[in-house]
Structure 1
Amino acid sequence: MEPKRYDAVLLASFGGPEGQDDVIPFLRNVTRGRGIPDERLEEVATHYRAHGGVSPINEQNRQLKAALEAELAARGIELPVYWGNRNWDPYVPQTLQQIHDDGHRRVLAVTTSAYSCYSSCRQYREDFGVALRETGLEDELAVDKLRQYFDHPGFVRAFLPSLAAGLREMIAAVGAEKTHVFFATHSIPNSDAAAAGPRPLAAQLREQTGAEAGEANGADVYSAQHLAVAELLMSMVEEGSEVDWSLVYQSRSGPPSVPWLEPDISDAMEQRVTQDGVEAAVVVPLGFVSDHMEVIWDLDTEAKETAEELGIRFVRTDTPGTHREFVSGLVDMISERLAQLDERPQRAGMTQMGPWFDVCRPNCCSKVMRDGTIKPTTSAVDADVTPPQAL
């Protein structure tokens, strides 16, 4: 996109409960429209209740907001940073209303999702469109979305120090041949994986791999992005050439009859131990920006317990969080879009898949409904055109 004179930044995220009384209402928000009874939600609620009913994601977003504000100020960029969530307070509609009430009219949204799929990209566009419509601000406020940043140097390099430390620790303990790196990301339905990214690129990947999405890693845009970053990271650490690695998935939900991306991390660890004699697991939460519930429960609790049952060593590396490289990279990408800057950074990407698009391609990251149909567009923001309100 051509640079614009943005006057505010919106940090948009998933949201999470901040007390025991918030847990079920939060989960109702997450599963809205699916008809899931509270009894089933309570099964998931145990993850939050084990941590006092508090998801760490909100505090992490407060810290990220403060870090962005500090980095913008250090560069002399006068942009206020606001924060809004999809599923919990502060909600996106109220935040957009506050932005408008404070006198701002052109907003650049930064999301806490790096990769391409419906829930991490297109759904945010829908969130902004619905919020503008609900608040009556469709003709008053413009909201553009920052590009997906899976291979931006700031995001990639933020993983390196902890990955290198984890590898050194495990190699020293059991040797390189007995160490395996598991790059973990959130599983999504195979149908959503097949619909992730631009149609031509998705078709090209399936042709190259000879598989449909979900049958082989890399047969869909979502998995291919993760694989490209994982391969890049292993090439950037000194010990990377000595150690085997793989992409694994976690946090699947929904009925067992609906296929999701596999292998699950626990299944993959068991297979590596049984077939390859692996004695140490280095787990990299590659699909996550910060240590939210899917990281501290699915990896730090469940995957770690699997490793203990298998009798192998386990280390989980850091997420980007507020790592200086990550924060600096986000501000670099904000700066790419600012017309008010005399000098803007080059659009950076470290893999052949990037840098990703500023404007989503037609039909990019569609949502496949349970009956196999594609979710229709619901607003100008969700339409595959270039509306004034948001992209």
Structure 2
Amino acid sequence: MSRKKIGLLVMAYGTPYKKEDIIPYYTAIRHGRKPSDKQIDNLARRYEAIGGVSPLARLTRDQADALAEQLNAAQVDYEFHAYLGLKYIHPFIEDAVTQMRSDGIEQAVSLALAPHYSRFSVQSYIDRAQAKARELGGITIASIKSWFDQPQFIHFWKQAVLRAFEDISESERNQTVVLFTAHSLPEKIIKNGDPYPEQIKETAEAIVHAAEIKHYAQAWQSAGKTPDPWLGPDVLDQIRALHKKEEYRHFIFCPIGFVAEHLEVLYDNDQECRALVESLGANYHRPQMPDTDPLFIDALSSAVLNVCRSHLFLAAK
């Protein structure tokens, strides 16, 4: 008996593929308003600082392919076909839904490569996918809102943190702080009861408990340049405060809101945060990101299979 085809819509933020993509990419982020020459030069400089282009495009595709492979190996009833839909660069979310429909897909699951739900971020991915599905007709999409509490995701970060501690001498581990970070969002989301800040907190606390971390803190990074206040404390301010109060000798950075090596990690963390930490006479550590680690792909696979079962795509095993 042949397997039933299920679409797997993997959604992500997107990144420029080459230098020429920076202007249209940045313009899309700014809702059609072209950035100034100064803004373009600043972003281009940041990409140059990490090698000219972000590895995110390749890693996102690799994650989608690895997830489809894992799902198809995990059960025998359904055949998952991966489609990549990006928010700010091609292939756009709408392009992916259109391609699924053209390929004869009638049922699909969507998952954003962002562990934590916010109406400001993940919901915008879901809305675009669902709107295109309604417009086309003949295809239904079961959308996963969050997967931050998948045990394998927590276990990945537990192992990552413990490996980072192995590089620190026993005598200095008590002078080490683990700093959990995630992308900041406008403060106004709190007034609207958005679960994003609480989900970040729950993730950090779950990792702390699993890895038995003694000293830890949380901060926000990569805030947008807008007049509205964004969630804080900012990661650079938090580094200064922690060092002033406790004089930590080691800072282990865990960007738990991100799932791959990309600009916010390779530049904001590995260059800006590292420079500040080292200027204070301390040491910077940052574990490998999830990328295509089997534990991480397992976490995504479990989230997809759970939603399939709840939508009766798959019979519970």
Matching of residue 157 in structure 1 with residue 127 in structure 2: no
Letter in 1 for 2:146: Q
Query: Residue 103 of structure 1 aligns with which residue?
Result: 104
User: Is this contact kept in 2: 1:18–1:53, CA < 8 A?
Assistant: no
Q: Give the structure-2-normalised TM-score.
A: 0.90
**In 2, distance between residues paired with 1:129 and 1:336?**
19
> In the TM superposition, what are the counterparts of 1:366-385 in structure 2 within 5 Å?
none
User: Is this contact kept in 2: 1:179–1:280, CA < 8 A?
Assistant: yes
User: Is this contact kept in 1: 2:49–2:267, CA < 8 A?
Assistant: no
Query: Residue 252 of structure 1 aligns with which residue?
Result: 223
Query: Residue 234 of structure 1 aligns with which residue?
Result: 208
Correspondence for 2:256 among 269, 277, 286 = 286
Unaligned stretches of 5+ residues in structure 1: 198-220, 345-391
Q: Secondary structure at the match of 1:9?
A: strand
User: Is this contact kept in 2: 1:285–1:318, CA < 8 A?
Assistant: no
Higher mean C-alpha displacement, 52-61 vs 143-152? 52-61
Structure 1 residue 11, shift from structure 2 partner: 0.7
> In the TM superposition, what are the counterparts of 1:117-128 in structure 2 within 5 Å?
117-128=118-129
User: Is this contact kept in 2: 1:24–1:38, CA < 8 A?
Assistant: no
Structure 1 residue 182, shift from structure 2 partner: 0.5
**In 2, distance between residues paired with 1:154 and 1:6?**
26
User: Is this contact kept in 1: 2:220–2:231, CA < 8 A?
Assistant: yes
User: Is this contact kept in 2: 1:82–1:95, CA < 8 A?
Assistant: yes
Q: Secondary structure at the match of 1:297?
A: helix
User: Is this contact kept in 2: 1:109–1:143, CA < 8 A?
Assistant: yes
Deviations 1:115-149 (A, max 9, x none): 1223432111222145447xx41x23222211301
Q: Secondary structure at the match of 1:7?
A: strand
Letter in 2 for 1:82: Y
Deviations 1:67-115 (A, max 9, x none): 1122122123411111111111211122111111111122210110111
What RMSD in Å do the two structures reach over aligned CA positions? Answer: 2.0
User: Is this contact kept in 1: 2:117–2:145, CA < 8 A?
Assistant: no
Correspondence for 1:186 among 174, 183, 207 = 183
User: Is this contact kept in 1: 2:27–2:34, CA < 8 A?
Assistant: no
Letter in 2 for 1:24: I
Structure 1 residue 6, shift from structure 2 partner: 7.1
Structure 1 residue 34, shift from structure 2 partner: 5.2
Query: Residue 116 of structure 1 aligns with which residue?
Result: 117
Q: Secondary structure at the match of 2:111?
A: strand
Relative distance call for 1:297 and 1:173 in structure 2 (3 A) is farther
Equivalences, count? 309
Query: Residue 379 of structure 1 aligns with which residue?
Result: none
Query: Residue 14 of structure 1 aligns with which residue?
Result: 13
Unaligned stretches of 5+ residues in structure 2: none
**In 2, distance between residues paired with 1:291 and 1:193?**
28
**In 1, distance between residues paired with 2:139 and 2:68?**
22
User: Is this contact kept in 1: 2:55–2:262, CA < 8 A?
Assistant: yes
User: Is this contact kept in 2: 1:17–1:53, CA < 8 A?
Assistant: no
Greater share of strand? 2
**In 1, distance between residues paired with 2:7 and 2:130?**
17
Matching of residue 277 in structure 1 with residue 277 in structure 2: no
Correspondence for 1:174 among 148, 172, 175 = 172
Query: Residue 48 of structure 1 aligns with which residue?
Result: 47
